[in-house]
Amino acid sequence: MQLALTVGSVVIAGLIVVGIIGFLFEKYANGLEPREGASRGASRDVREQTS
């Protein structure tokens, strides 16, 4: 019982860490999404312009 509770707590803590990383990533990734009317992401044209 003690072992099950400890393992459960560690796993939940791990999931919380993963959730926080995921949340932060989603905030970052959403900031990269093209806005309405803007050209669509890193198409070949964008890369050609930057090279």
Enter the tokens of residue 37. 């009317």
Polymer length in residues for the chain: 51
Please select the residue that binds other proteins; options are 10, 16, 20, 23, rule is CB under 8 A. Answer: 10
Those residues whose C-beta lies under 8 Å from the C-beta of residue 38, and which sit 6 or more positions away, are none
Residue 11 touches other proteins, criterion: CB under 8 A:
yes
Q: How many residues bind other proteins (CB under 8 A)?
A: 23
Please identify, using beta-carbon distances, which residue of 37 and 49 lies nearer to other proteins: 49
**According to CB under 8 A, which residues from 17 to 46 bind other proteins?**
18, 21-22, 25, 29, 32, 40-44, 46
